[in-house]
Structure 1
C-alpha cells in the first residue's frame, strides 16, 4: 500500500532538505583542506598504552607501575599523534603530572590493603579525557561555539567529579560538533577532528574528539553524552566501545548546552573506552546513587539469552542502505552466537523502525510539562546574545566570514520546518508507544537486540551533509529509552572499523555489557591504528 499523500510530501520535503544541504556539503568538500590525507596514526609501541583502565588501576595499586609513568606514557602518545587527529583540544599535562605524583607519594607513604584501595579508588591513576561540552575545572566549556570561546569552567560536571573522586586523572578535553548537534566533530573554535584509521574520514559526533582520542590510544577511558547517537556513532566510527545507559541513571548536570525539560530524559551521559571490561567499573562510578536502578553485578548466562537481529530499518527513504560489509559482520555475529555459543537467535522485522527519524523529530518537538516549546537551536547559537539570522549567516559562510559551521546554519534554517505540530506529534507518539511496547515485550529481561550502529562505515569528511538523516539508526533508541552498547567488530578491507549495537530492555544494561565483553573476546575488540 502506498503511503498517504501527506506522508509522501513530508518524505519528499525531507529528501529535498538533504539534497540542498548535500550540495553545500559538496562545495565544502571541494574547498576543504586535507593536510594529512590518506594517513593513519602510527602504531602503539609503549606496552602501558595497551592495558585497560582496570588493569592499570590494579598495577598502580599493587605498586607494580608508577602512576607518573602511566600518565607520562599517555602524554608522550598525545604529543606524537594528536596533531594528526585533533582529538584533544586543550591539555592539562602539568596538573595531571602533579596528580600522578601525588598518587605515587600516597602509595609510598601508606601501606594500605589493595582491597581497601580498590574500594576507595577503583580508577586510581587511570588517564581520562572528557568531552569539551562537560565542565572540567579550569578548562574551556564552549561546545565549539565561538561566542563561548572564553567560557572557562570553575567547577566539574557531576560525572567528572565522580570519576576524579574514584582516582581517574584527566589529561584534557576533547572536540565535539558545534553545540553537539551534528555527527561530524568540527567547529570554528577548534577545527576538525580526524579518524585515526584514515584521516580523510570523520570521527562522528558529537563526542567525536573523544572517540578518536581513545581509538588512537591517547586515553584509556572517556566521558561522552548521547541524545541521538553522540556516544555510539563516534564509538562505531572509531572502533571502540560506547554505552548509552538507561535514562535517568547517570546524572547529566554540568554540560552545555543544557537539554530542554522534555528532552532531558532522552539525553544520556555514558562511558566510552577501548576495552569492554572498563565499561561496568566506569558506569558504577558515573552513575553515583543512580546505580541502584541497575543490576550490574548480576550473573549473565549468555547461552540462555534470547538474541534478536535486524539487518536494516525496514527501508526508510530518508536513509542510506546498510552497506554489505556491515550486514556481513552482523551475520558473522549471528552465526557465531548460534554455532559457538549455542544461543537462540531470531531474525525479526520491526516495521515501525522505518520511522526512526520521524520519531526522533517528535522527541525534539516535545513541549515541557509547563507547555513551553523546546529551546530553539537558532537561539542557542546566539547564546543569550544578539539573535542570528540563518540566511544571512549562510551568505556570510559562502564568503568564508561566518563564525558558524554549515551544519548549524542548515539546522537553524530548517528547524521550524522540521518541528512537528500537535497533530503530527500525536501521530508519531502513537507509533513510538507501539514500537516501544513491541520491543520491550520481545526483549523482556532475558533478550537483546542486534542492530546496525549506522548504515555505513565512517564516511569521508563532509559526506554526512549529503546523508543528514543517517543518525536515526542510533537516535531511535534515545526516543525509546533503551540501554545500548556499541561494540567494535574489527576492520573492513579498507581498514575502517565495523561494529554493532546491542540493545536491551529498560534497566537491563547488564545484558548489553555482558554481550559486549563476549563479542570482544570473540571478535577482537579495538584494533590499534597503524597495524592494518
Structure 2
C-alpha cells in the first residue's frame, strides 16, 4: 500500500497505526541482516507514537481533520538530522554523535503525523554513488545483494525497495535520491531548486553548494510524491534559497491531475553523453516515450554536445564554489588529517572512494583558475540549454548507463554521474520512475525532468508510467537457509 492509502485506512479505523508500524518493524528486522539499510532504529518510540496515533483517531469526532500522514511509518536518511538519532553520514570520527534537533524537512513529516522507524545508511560524507562507509558498512541491493543499492541515499532506496518502509526522506546533490531509487526499483523526486529547505543536513550546505542540493522524498508508490512534496515545501527562515522569490512552497505547487499528456513535449537527447547507456536502459526509455506518445504526447529528439562536459563542469562547480572541502569536513568532525601516505594505505577509517576523492580534491586545487572558471561557465551554459530545451514539457533520460552495477564498480569513475548531474546544475525537478525489471531481475527506470517549479508535471508523467508499467515490483524473497542441526532434527 502507498503511504496515502495507509493513512486513509488508519483514519477510517480499518487498520490500526500500531499494526501498520509493527508490520513494518517486522519487515525491517527481516530484511536488514541481508541489506544493512537501517543503521539506527527507534522502534520503541515508534510503537509508542503509533499507540498515541490510534488514541487520537479513536477520540476524533466524525469529520474532524487529522494530520495527513497520521500513523504512517517512514525512514530518514542518516545524514538528515533527526533528534536522538545519529547524524554522521558514515564518518567514523563522528560516530555516535546524535542530532540535537530535527531538520525542518523531517520535522514537517513528523508534524504531518508520520512515525520515523529509524535512520538509513549513506555513503561516507554523502559523496559517492555507493552507500558504504567504515562506520556502518555497505548497503546491498534488495534485488541482488551483489549489486549496489546506490548512493548516497542508498539505505533509503533499499529500505523502501524491500518493502520495509512505505516512504522516506533523502537528499540529492548529484543523483543521491535518483540513483538509489533507480537501483532499488522505487520512485524518487529531486525537487526544484529552493522548493524544500536544505537546513539540517550533515555535512552542511553553504552558499556555494546549496544550489546543487535538495531534500526530497522516495516512495514505493507514485501517488505519494505530490502529497509528500506539499508537506516538505516552503521556507524555513534559514535556507536563503528556500526564502527566495522563486521558492514557491506548497501553495505554489501545481496539481498533477491538471496536467494533460495530449500535446505535451517529451524530449529525448541522443548520442551526447560521455558514458553511453546500455541497450536495456535505452530500450526502457524508448518504451516510456512510446507509452507517452500513445497518450498524445509529442516525442522530440535533439543533440546537446555540451553535455559531454557535464561531469567535469559539475565537479569543478562543486569544488570551486563551495567554501568547505571534503578534507575540511573530516577535520571538523574530529578526524585526523589525511596525508598522501595515509591515502594510499589500505584499511583505516575511510573508504577507497573517499580516499580517491581526497586525492582528486588536492589535485583539483592545482587546476589553474582560468581553466576552472571556464568549466564553471560551461556548467552554466549546460544548465541554461537544458532548461530551455525542457521548456513546458519533460525530458526522459536514463539514470545510469546500466542497471545497478556490482559493488565497487563505480569507485574512481566519476563518469557514472554523467546522466544525473546536469539536472543538479540546472536546478530543475526530476522524478525517478521505475519501469519494471530486466531479464536478470534488476530494476529498470527513467528520469523524468520538468521545468523549474513544474514538479507536478514530472510527477504526473510518473503517475502515467506507473499506470502503464506497474511501478514498483517487490523483489523476490531471499533463499531460505536452514541450519544443519535443524535439518537433522526435521529429518529425524
Q: Is TM > 0.5 for Structure 1 vs Structure 2?
A: yes
Q: CA deviation at 1:457?
A: 0.7
The question of 1:515 aligning with 2:465 is answered: no
Distance 1:167 1:311 in 2: 44
**CA-CA distance at 1:387 after TM superposition:** 4.7
Equivalent residue number for residue 353 of structure 1: 307
Q: Which runs of 5+ in 1 are unaligned?
A: 1-50, 368-372
1:221 and 2:167 aligned: yes
Match of 2:254 among 271, 295, 303: 295
Between 446-455 and 466-475, report the one with greater CA deviation: 466-475
3-state SS of paired residue (1:365): helix
Residue 81 (1) aligns with residue 31 (2): yes
**Comparing both chains, which one has the higher relative contact order based on Cα–Cα distances under 8 Å and sequence gaps of 6 or more?**
1
Q: Deviations over 1:444-479 (max 9, x none)?
A: 2x2101111111110111111253321131111111
1:528 and 2:482 correspond: no
Does the residue aligned with 2:97 lie in a helix, a strand or coil? coil
Map residues 244-263 of structure 1 onto 2, 5 A cutoff.
244-263=190-209
Cα-to-partner distance string for 1:109-157 (whole Å, 9 max, x where unaligned):
222416x22xxx1111111100000111111111100101121112111
> For residues 295-344 of structure 1, what are the alpha-carbon distances to aligned partners after superposition, in whole Å with 9 as ceiling and x for unaligned?
246710112311111245x142xx3x311100111111122222x21221
> Take 2:336 and 2:368, find their aligned partners in 1: how far apart are those partners?
24
Which residue of 1 is the match for residue 189 of structure 2?
243
CA contact (8 A) 2:382 2:422 kept: no
Trace 1:138-177 onto structure 2 (pairs within 5 A): 138-177=84-123
Is contact 1:365–1:425 with CA below 8 Å preserved after alignment? no
Match of 2:386 in 1: 439
Q: CA RMSD in A?
A: 1.7
Instruction: Supply the distance in 2 between the matched residues of 1:261 and 1:381 (Cα, whole angstroms).
Output: 19
**CA contact 2:317–2:379 (8 Å) conserved in 1:** no
Please show how residues 36-435 of structure 1 align to structure 2 within 5 Å.
51-113=1-63, 116-117=65-66, 121-289=67-235, 290-296=249-255, 299-311=258-270, 314-316=272-274, 319=275, 321-338=276-293, 340-367=294-321, 374-385=323-334, 387-396=336-345, 398=346, 400=347, 402-419=348-365, 420-435=367-382
Structure 2 residue 410 is matched with structure 1 residue 464: yes
Q: Distance in 2 between matches of 1:75 and 1:376?
A: 38
Whole-angstrom distance in 1 between the partners of 2:256 and 2:162 = 31
Q: Equivalents in 2 of 1:260, 1:204: separation in Å?
A: 25
TM-score by length of 2: 0.91
Measure, in 1, the Cα distance between the counterparts of 2:195 and 2:202: 19
**Contact conserved, 1:296 with 1:509, CA < 8 A, in 2?**
no
Name the CA distance, whole Å, in 2 between partners of 1:246 and 1:294: 10
Distance in 1, Cα, partners of 2:256 & 2:44: 37
Partner of 1:5: none
Unaligned runs of 5+ in 2: 236-248, 479-492
8 Å contact 1:143–1:178 — kept in the other structure? Answer: yes
SS of corresponding position for 2:145: coil
From the superposition, tell whether residues 384 and 336 of structure 1 become closer, same or farther in structure 2 (CA, over 3 Å).
closer
Residue 334 and residue 531 in structure 1: after superposition, are their counterparts in 2 closer, same or farther (change >3 A)?
farther
Q: What is the DSSP-based 3-state SS (H/G/I as helix, E as strand, rest coil) of the residue aligned with 2:424? A: helix
Tell me the matched-pair count: 464
What is the Cα deviation at residue 439 of structure 1? 2.7
Contact kept? 2:223, 2:463, Cα under 8 Å: yes
Give me the whole-angstrom Cα distance separating, in 2, the residues matched to 1:443 and 1:140.
Answer: 39
Separation in 2, partners of 1:169, 1:425: 45
What corresponds to 1:22 in structure 2? none
Tell me the CA shift for residue 506 of structure 1: 1.1
Distance 1:218 1:386, change over 3 A: closer
SS at match of 2:420: helix
**1:20 alignment counterpart:** none
Rounded Cα–Cα distance in structure 2 between residues aligned with 1:323 and 1:516 = 22
Deviation digits for residues 55-92 of structure 1 (CA, Å, limit 9, x no counterpart): 00000011111110000010111111111000001111
